[in-house]
Amino acid sequence: MSLFCSAKVCKQRRRAEMTILVLCREDNLCNTLACYARAMRRSGVQLVCLERGFPLNGVLQDILCFCSERPSLILHPEADVPYLPWGLAEVDIPTACFQVDTYAYTARRITWSMLFDQAIVFHPGYDALFRREGHPGACFFAHAVDAELFSGEMLERVFEVGWVGQVTGPMYGRRGSVLSELAKKFRMNELARRYTQQETARIYRQSHIVVNMGRDDYPQDANLRIFEAMAGGALLITALPSEMTQIGFEEGVHFLGYRNSGETVALVRKYLDDEPARRRIASAGREKVVHEHTYDVRVGKWLEGLAKGAVKLRAPARNWSEGSVRRIYLDYFAANGALSQAALELPKIARHSLKDALISAALLGRAWSKRLGAKLRPRNKAA
Higher pLDDT, 249 or 17: 249
Average pLDDT on 85-94 reads 97
Structural domains for the chain: 7-144+296-317 (3.40.50.2300), 147-292 (3.40.50.2000), 321-382 (no CATH)
Instruction: Give the least confident one: 11-25, 151-165, 205-219.
Output: 11-25
pLDDT above 80 for 192:
yes
User: 14 phi and psi, to 5 degrees?
Assistant: -75, 150
- Do the beta carbons of residue 281 and residue 252 sit within 8 Å? yes
Q: Write down the mean pLDDT value for the chain.
A: 91
Q: Which of 79, 12, 15 is nearest to 50 (CA)?
A: 79
Average pLDDT on 215-234 reads 95
Q: What angle do CA 266, 287, 265 make, to 5 degrees?
A: 10
pTM, to two decimals: 0.90
Q: What is the pLDDT of residue 383?
A: 31
Name, in order, each residue with C-beta under 8 angstroms of 272's C-beta and a sequence gap of 6 or more.
160, 186, 208, 209, 278
pLDDT above 80 for 197:
yes
- Its sign, for the CA torsion 270, 273, 277, 278, is positive
Q: What is the pLDDT of residue 370?
A: 82
For residues 287 and 255, give the distance between their C-alpha atoms in angstroms, rounded to a whole number: 12
Burial class from Cβ neighbours inside 10 Å (0-12, 13-18, 19+) for residue 231 reads: buried
What would the pLDDT profile of 326-377 be if each residue is shown by its tens digit?
999 999 999 999 999 999 999 999 998 888 889 889 888 888 888 776 665 5
Where does the pLDDT of residue 176 fall: very low under 50, low under 70, confident under 90, or very high at 90 and above? confident
Whole-angstrom distance between the N-terminal and C-terminal Cα of the chain?
53
Most distant CA pair in the chain: distance in Å?
70
Q: What is the pLDDT of residue 278?
A: 98
pLDDT above 50 for 1:
no
